Amino acid sequence: MSMTDLRVAAFQRCPVFDDASQILALLINDLVWCAEHDVHLAVFPECYLQGYDTDADTISRRAVEIQDDLVARLRRVTKDFPTELVIGFVEKRGQHFFNTALVIRDGVLLGAYSKTHPNEPAFKAGSEYPVFNLFGYRYGINICNDANYPASALALSTQGADLLCYPLNNMLRPQVADKWRKKSVENLQARAKDTGCWVLSADVVGRTEGKVSHGCTCIVSPAGEIMSQVAEDSEGIAMFDIQ
């Protein structure tokens, strides 16, 4: 790895529901791995902190404010590690709920992105497309269903983004999951080619309550070529040095 490379990693992980202590313990293990492998930027799945759901009552119960103790605990955990991370979060903001990804480094909350095309009725759509700077690279975030909308990716690339990060949660009914196992990858490749950006996705994997996610965790070049991909139906990490 040269001094001008950005080492990125995407984590394909089994979901954890309603257990902050377990998810933070798992996150520490992954951040230790990142430190050992000199990873600059790590991306984790959609709604990873509390667990993803489409049910309005469940979303309401899980959602917390950014000022809540859960995020404070997350910040304390990350303070001891050098890696910047993007991690999915179920956010309460006033009377509304948002499907959000937090950006944190050295225990500092650098910003957040809220899904602009939520396909969960309980979530309100976000409207901002922040871009973050890391070692001379610029990156932004889209979340899962946003990948179906080229304009969301272009909203970042037109601000000079080099990299698009996609927290995903493809936990779906088996027939739907089979349809999307190929389509999700194709969407990411299309967004890379549309924008000329690198694309990095992090998905959940496994089975829960009659649903399945095969996992769509990969790193795609601006030409649409898959440079690193986690095997389907297993946990793993995709890593690549972006030049």
Give the residues across from 241 on adjacent strands.
7
Burial class of residue 225, CB neighbours in 10 A (0-12, 13-18, 19+)? exposed
Burial class of residue 202, CB neighbours in 10 A (0-12, 13-18, 19+)? buried
- Between these two residues, 67 and 1, which has the higher pLDDT value? 67
The helix/strand/coil state of 12 is strand
Spatial contact of 204 and 171, defined as CB atoms under 8 Å apart: yes
CA 239, CA 76: separation in Å to the nearest integer? 25
> What beta strand segments (E) does 106-203 contain?
108-114, 131-134, 137-141, 163-167, 198-202
Secondary structure (DSSP) of 121-178: TTBPPP----EEEETTEEEEE--GGGGG-HHHHHHHHTTT-SEEEEE----B-HHHHH
Question: What confidence score (pLDDT) does residue 4 get?
Answer: 74
Spell out the domain ranges in the chain.
6-242
Provide the terminal-to-terminal Cα distance of the chain, rounded to the nearest Å: 9
Specify the residue for token string 């979340």. 143
HEC string of 75-114 equals HHHHCCCCCEEEEEEEEEECCEEEEEEEEEECCEEEEEEE
Spatial contact of 121 and 56, defined as CB atoms under 8 Å apart: yes
Q: What is the mean pLDDT of residues 125-137?
A: 97
Q: Which CATH number fits domain 6-242: 3.60.110.10, 3.40.50.300, 3.90.1150.10, 3.20.20.70?
A: 3.60.110.10
Q: What is the pLDDT of residues 136-193, one digit of tens each?
A: 999 999 999 999 999 999 999 999 999 999 999 999 999 999 999 999 999 999 999 9
pTM greater than the 0.95 cutoff: yes
Q: What is the pLDDT of residues 209-229, one digit of tens each?
A: 999 999 999 999 999 999 999
Q: What are phi and psi of 236, to 5 degrees?
A: 175, 180
Q: What is the mean pLDDT of residues 64-87?
A: 96
Spatial contact of 143 and 99, defined as CB atoms under 8 Å apart: yes
CA 240, CA 102: separation in Å to the nearest integer? 22
CA 145, CA 21: separation in Å to the nearest integer? 28
